[in-house]
Amino acid sequence: MDWYPLYNSVRIAAVSTVIVYFLGIFLANVVARAPRLIKGVLDVVLTLPLVLPPTVVGYLLLRVFGPKRVLGAWLLETFGIKLTMVWYAAILATVVVSFPLMYRTARGAFESFDENLADAARTLGRSERWIFWRVKMPFCQQGIVAGAVLAFARALGEYGATAMICGYTPGTTATVSTTVYQLWRTNDDAGALMWVMVNLAISAVVLLAMNWFEQKSKATDARGRSAHGGRARLAGGAR
């Protein structure tokens, strides 16, 4: 059995998740602090791939990065980078499709952040960078991790945009999703069903891991609040 589609899907999803993780955090933090009008415009633009059909996203990517388009031709002639019908072109497709999940989740986490904590750190002379990474990110970590997991799961199962920009070539651009379609198209129902079960198993493991992390985070937060309350009661009794 050829396991290349699984290997290819996992590496594409992993690389795209790393990209959307940092890009989503950066843009979510910017948008969360932006004025209302600018926030509304940016939010629409950054979330648009979430509501567009994946095939439309793939078509737009081809219009921009196709080898006969201005940007695609420039990349090919200047750097020798071809962004169509190669496996790494799927990274571009999955980044665009999965980014809104990371962005929306991170933005919601940042908007729920208690700015009083940041103000308290500023009174102690801490820099904005220190506050972001040592105060804001730990406070919002549950939402951040949830967004990353959802982005990974979405990238792992992406078909429409990936098929448009990469196609299906066994051992080169094949992913689990495109393999399922190809096997179904050639009446290999048993093979298609096997890959469907593989994808279901991986997705279930990812979601179970996310639920476990959420439960662990809640338990940690509860212990922290309990310890803080205990210290406050002891201090009150001492007075």
For 66-93, how does the pLDDT look when each residue is reduced to its tens digit (9 = 90+)?
888 888 899 888 888 888 899 999 999 9
3-state secondary structure the chain: CCCHHHHHHHHHHHHHHHHHHHHHHHHHHHHHCCCHHHHHHHHHHHHHHHHCCHHHHHHHHHHHHCCCCHHHHHHHHHHCCCCCCCCCHHHHHHHHHHHHHHHHHHHHHHHCCCHHHHHHHHHCCCCHHHHHHHHHHHHCHHHHHHHHHHHHHHHHCCCHHHHHHHCCCCCCCCCHHHHHHHHHHCCCHHHHHHHHHHHHHHHHHHHHHHHHHHHHHHHHHHHHHHHHHHHHHHHHHHC
The pLDDT, as a whole number, for residue 180 is 92
Task: Determine the pLDDT at residue 219.
Answer: 67
Mean pLDDT of 168-189: 91
Q: Work out the average pLDDT over 123-143.
A: 87
Residue 234: pLDDT band (50, 70, 90) is very low
Residue 231: per-residue pLDDT? 47
Q: Residue 178 pLDDT > 60, yes or no?
A: yes
**pTM flag (> 0.85):** no
pLDDT at 68: 87
Q: What is the pLDDT of residue 62?
A: 92
Residue 236 has pLDDT above 90, yes or no: no
**In the prediction, which pLDDT does 33 show?**
84
State pLDDT tens for residues 120-132: 888 888 888 888 8
* CA 173 from centroid of its chain's CA atoms: 21
Four-point Cα dihedral 197, 198, 204, 206, nearest 10 = -160
| pLDDT value at residue 226 | 57
